[in-house]
Protein backbone atom coordinates (compact mmCIF):
# COMPACT_ATOMS: atom_id res chain seq x y z
CA UNK A 1 0.00 0.00 0.00
CA UNK A 2 0.98 3.64 -0.32
CA UNK A 3 -0.93 5.36 2.52
CA UNK A 4 -1.29 9.10 2.12
CA UNK A 5 -3.28 12.15 3.09
CA UNK A 6 -4.46 14.11 0.10
CA UNK A 7 -5.86 17.61 0.50
CA UNK A 8 -8.28 18.57 -2.26
CA UNK A 9 -10.48 21.55 -3.05
CA UNK A 10 -14.23 21.24 -3.51
CA UNK A 11 -13.62 21.14 -7.26
CA UNK A 12 -11.18 18.20 -6.92
CA UNK A 13 -7.89 20.08 -7.32
CA UNK A 14 -5.09 18.46 -5.33
CA UNK A 15 -3.52 20.94 -2.91
CA UNK A 16 -1.06 18.56 -1.28
CA UNK A 17 -0.41 14.82 -1.03
CA UNK A 18 1.55 13.57 1.98
CA UNK A 19 2.80 9.97 1.99
CA UNK A 20 3.68 8.05 5.12
CA UNK A 21 7.23 6.75 5.42
CA UNK A 22 7.88 3.43 3.67
CA UNK A 23 8.10 1.49 6.97
CA UNK A 24 4.42 2.32 7.51
CA UNK A 25 3.27 0.95 4.15
CA UNK A 26 0.84 -1.42 5.90
CA UNK A 27 -0.85 1.42 7.82
CA UNK A 28 -4.26 2.01 6.29
CA UNK A 29 -5.41 5.55 7.12
CA UNK A 30 -9.06 5.15 8.08
CA UNK A 31 -10.20 8.05 10.24
CA UNK A 32 -9.57 11.80 10.32
CA UNK A 33 -10.36 14.73 12.59
CA UNK A 34 -9.46 18.38 12.00
CA UNK A 35 -8.80 21.02 14.61
CA UNK A 36 -9.89 24.63 13.96
CA UNK A 37 -6.32 25.67 13.07
CA UNK A 38 -6.13 22.99 10.36
CA UNK A 39 -4.20 20.34 12.32
CA UNK A 40 -5.39 16.92 11.14
CA UNK A 41 -5.30 13.87 13.37
CA UNK A 42 -5.24 10.64 11.39
CA UNK A 43 -5.86 7.17 12.76
CA UNK A 44 -4.86 3.94 11.11
CA UNK A 45 -5.45 0.23 10.97
CA UNK A 46 -2.33 -1.91 10.70
CA UNK A 47 -2.76 -4.43 7.86
CA UNK A 48 0.13 -6.64 8.98
CA UNK A 49 0.90 -8.80 12.02
CA UNK A 50 -1.09 -7.23 14.87
CA UNK A 51 0.82 -9.18 17.52
CA UNK A 52 3.55 -6.55 17.04
CA UNK A 53 2.90 -2.89 17.85
CA UNK A 54 2.97 -0.30 15.09
CA UNK A 55 2.20 3.44 15.13
CA UNK A 56 -1.52 4.08 14.81
CA UNK A 57 -1.94 7.84 15.29
CA UNK A 58 -0.41 10.77 13.50
CA UNK A 59 -0.84 14.47 12.86
CA UNK A 60 -0.38 16.72 9.88
CA UNK A 61 -0.94 20.34 8.97
CA UNK A 62 -1.12 21.56 5.37
CA UNK A 63 2.38 22.53 4.25
CA UNK A 64 4.15 20.77 7.15
CA UNK A 65 5.53 17.29 7.63
CA UNK A 66 3.59 14.43 9.24
CA UNK A 67 4.24 13.61 12.86
CA UNK A 68 3.65 10.15 14.24
CA UNK A 69 2.37 10.15 17.81
CA UNK A 70 4.49 8.60 20.52
CA UNK A 71 2.23 6.26 22.48
CA UNK A 72 3.51 4.07 25.33
CA UNK A 73 4.21 0.58 23.95
CA UNK A 74 1.87 -1.21 26.37
CA UNK A 75 -1.03 1.10 25.42
CA UNK A 76 -0.28 0.81 21.73
CA UNK A 77 -0.31 -3.00 22.03
CA UNK A 78 -3.71 -2.87 23.76
CA UNK A 79 -5.24 -1.30 20.64
CA UNK A 80 -4.49 -4.52 18.70
CA UNK A 81 -3.47 -2.71 15.52
CA UNK A 82 -6.65 -0.68 15.09
CA UNK A 83 -8.05 2.73 15.90
CA UNK A 84 -11.75 2.95 15.10
CA UNK A 85 -12.28 6.69 15.46
CA UNK A 86 -10.47 9.89 16.36
CA UNK A 87 -11.76 13.24 17.64
CA UNK A 88 -10.37 16.49 18.99
CA UNK A 89 -11.82 18.06 22.12
CA UNK A 90 -13.72 21.32 21.64
CA UNK A 91 -10.68 23.37 22.74
CA UNK A 92 -8.36 21.30 20.52
CA UNK A 93 -5.96 20.46 23.34
CA UNK A 94 -6.92 16.80 23.55
CA UNK A 95 -7.51 14.02 21.08
CA UNK A 96 -9.44 10.83 21.85
CA UNK A 97 -9.14 7.57 19.96
CA UNK A 98 -11.22 4.43 20.22
CA UNK A 99 -10.08 0.91 19.55
CA UNK A 100 -13.01 -1.50 19.25
CA UNK A 101 -10.61 -4.46 18.77
CA UNK A 102 -8.85 -3.63 22.02
CA UNK A 103 -11.90 -2.46 23.97
CA UNK A 104 -10.08 0.84 24.55
CA UNK A 105 -10.68 4.56 24.50
CA UNK A 106 -7.50 6.54 24.94
CA UNK A 107 -7.23 10.27 25.57
CA UNK A 108 -4.14 12.37 24.89
CA UNK A 109 -3.17 15.95 25.58
CA UNK A 110 -1.72 17.16 22.31
CA UNK A 111 1.52 18.98 23.15
CA UNK A 112 4.88 19.64 21.63
CA UNK A 113 4.13 18.09 18.26
CA UNK A 114 7.44 19.46 16.97
CA UNK A 115 9.20 16.89 19.15
CA UNK A 116 6.92 14.04 18.01
CA UNK A 117 5.33 13.78 21.44
CA UNK A 118 1.82 13.25 22.66
CA UNK A 119 1.85 13.41 26.43
CA UNK A 120 -0.33 12.95 29.52
CA UNK A 121 -2.18 9.94 28.30
CA UNK A 122 -5.22 8.31 29.90
CA UNK A 123 -6.74 4.94 29.01
CA UNK A 124 -10.29 3.80 29.59
CA UNK A 125 -11.09 0.09 29.26
CA UNK A 126 -14.52 -1.25 28.38
Domain boundaries, the chain: 4-125
12-45 confidence digits (pLDDT tens): 999 999 988 888 887 889 899 999 999 999 999 8
Q: Max Cα separation, the chain?
A: 43
Please provide the average confidence, as pLDDT, over all residues in the chain: 83
User: 10 Å Cβ neighbour count for 35?
Assistant: 17
Lowest mean pLDDT among 10-19, 43-52, 87-96: 43-52
| Confidence (pTM) | 0.83
* Right CATH for 4-125 from 3.40.50.300, 2.120.10.30, 3.40.50.1000, 2.60.40.10: 2.120.10.30
User: 10 Å Cβ neighbour count for 61?
Assistant: 16
Amino acid sequence: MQPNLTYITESGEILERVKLESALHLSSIRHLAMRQDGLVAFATQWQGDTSLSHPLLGFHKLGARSLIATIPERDLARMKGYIGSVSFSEDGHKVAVSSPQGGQVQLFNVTSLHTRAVLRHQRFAA
